[in-house]
Amino acid sequence: MYSIKATTLLTGLTAETLRAWERRYACISPVRSDNNRRHYSQQDLDKLTLLAQLTSNGHTISKIANLNGDALRDLQQQVQVLDKDAQHPLLEQIISAVMDYRIDRCELLLKRALVASEPLEYARDILLPALKKIGELWHEEKLSIAQEHMFTCCVNRIVLSMVNNLQNSSVNSPAILFATPSDEPHECGILLSCLLAASLQYRCYFLGASLPGKDIVEAAYHLQPDIIIIGLVKTPPEPTTIEQLRIIATAEETVASSIWIGGSGATYCHEHSMLPSPRCELITDITHFYNKAQQWMLLDQTRYRGG
C-alpha cells in the first residue's frame, strides 16, 4: 500500500488533484487507516499513473475516470500508434544503410539519434521500429540473414556500451536482471529495457537469451536483483519456455525479487491464463516498463531517505 505522499511522488499528481478526482469522479477508492489516512493499492497507483498521462495528452478526466485499467492502456496505445505514424526522420536512412550493407553509416546514424533523443524515445521510436522493419524485410526476403545479423549486432554493441556508461555501479542502487528462458531466442525487448533501466540509474545484469531456468535462478541467488525481467516473444511460447518460467517464479532463490514479464508471448500467456505464478507481473510495452521502473526507483529512493 502507498501513502498519499508516495502516490503523489510516483504519479506526479498533487494531493489536491487526487482528492478531487476521488470526490468528483470516484475513479479510485483508497482504503482508510484507523487514523483516517488514505492508502493506495498497486492497482490504484497504476490507474492514477495512466490517468495522469492521458490527461496530460489532452483527454478529459470526466470522460476517462471510470474506465478500467485495460481500457486506459488501450487509449494510451492509440496515442502511441498516432505518434508512430510520424516516423522518425532518421529511420528511413537507417534502413537504407542496412539495405546497402553500409553498417558503418548505420552505426553513425544510430549514434546520432542516440545523442539527439531521450532514452525512452530512442528505444520506442527509433530502435524498436527499425528492428521490426528489418525483421519484416528479412521475412519478405528483401534482406539477407547476414544483413539482419549485422544490424542486430550493431544495435547490441551500441546499447550495451550505453548501459555500461549509464548504469549506477553503487551497491546501494537497486538492481535488475534481464534474461529469456530456454527456447526463447529473442532478446531485443530485454536489451532495450536494459538501456532504459540503466538510464534510470539501476544496476543492470544482462544475461541474454534462451537460458535454462535453473541458471537464471542461480544467477539471481548470487546477484540478488530487486527485479527480474523475463522476455517472451514467441506466440504462443514453447512449453519448455513456460516450464522454465515456472522454475524461475517458484524458486526460493528468487522469492525476494519482483518478476516482470513482457513481450507478445507474455501477453498471450496472460490472456490465456498460462502464467505459472501470480508473482509474474505483466509488462504491456516498453513505455509501461519505463514508467513502472521509474516509479519503483522513486519509491526506493523515498525508502532510502526515510521519506
Name residue 226's amino acid: D
pLDDT tens digit sequence for 266-294: 999 999 999 988 899 999 999 999 989 99
Q: How far apart are CA 300 and CA 174, in angstroms?
A: 8
Q: How far apart are CA 216 and CA 231, in angstroms?
A: 13
> What is the mean pLDDT of the segment spanning 5-24?
85
The C-alpha cell of 96 is what? 537504407
Q: Within the chain, where are the H helices? A: 4-11, 15-25, 42-56, 61-64, 69-85, 91-99, 103-116, 119-121, 128-139, 145-166, 188-199, 213-223, 239-250, 264-271, 286-305
Q: How far apart are CA 255 and CA 10, in angstroms?
A: 25
pLDDT at 84 over 70: no
Q: How far apart are CA 149 and CA 134, in angstroms?
A: 10
- State residue 304's pLDDT score: 57
Q: How far apart are CA 31 and CA 9, in angstroms?
A: 19
Q: Which residues, in sequence order, are CB contacts of 211 under 8 Å at separation 6+?
A: 179, 180, 181, 182, 244
Q: For the chain, what percent of residues have pLDDT higher than 70?
A: 95
pLDDT at 83 over 70: no
CB burial of 148-166 (b: ≥16 within 10 Å; e: otherwise) equals bebbbebbeebbbebbeeb
- State residue 212's pLDDT score: 97
Q: How far apart are CA 188 and CA 158, in angstroms?
A: 13
pLDDT tens digit sequence for 87-107: 677 888 999 999 999 999 999
Q: How far apart are CA 115 and CA 307, in angstroms?
A: 35
Name residue 184's amino acid: E
pLDDT tens digit sequence for 115-173: 888 899 999 989 999 999 999 999 999 999 999 999 999 999 999 999 999 998 888 89
Name residue 178's amino acid: F
Q: Are 294 and 1 in contact (CB under 8 A)?
A: no
Q: Which residues, in sequence order, are CB contacts of 54 under 8 Å at separation 6+?
A: 64, 72, 75, 76, 79
Q: How far apart are CA 186 and CA 189, in angstroms?
A: 7
- State residue 307's pLDDT score: 47
Q: Are 64 and 72 in contact (CB under 8 A)?
A: yes
The topology under which CATH files domain 91-163 is 1.10.1240
3-class secondary-structure state, position 205: strand
> What is the mean pLDDT of the segment spanning 247-273?
95
Tell me the CB-side half-sphere exposure of residue 275, using CA atoms within 13 A: 21
Greatest CA separation found in the chain? 68
Mean pLDDT lowest for which of 53-62, 127-136, 173-182?
53-62
pLDDT at 210 over 60: yes
Query: Which architecture characterizes domain 169-305 according to CATH?
Result: 3-Layer(aba) Sandwich (3.40)
- State residue 19's pLDDT score: 87
Domain borders along the chain are: 2-70, 91-163, 169-305
Domain boundaries 2-70, corresponding CATH code? 1.10.1660.10
Question: How high is the mean pLDDT of the chain?
Answer: 89
| Cα end-to-end span (Å), the chain | 15
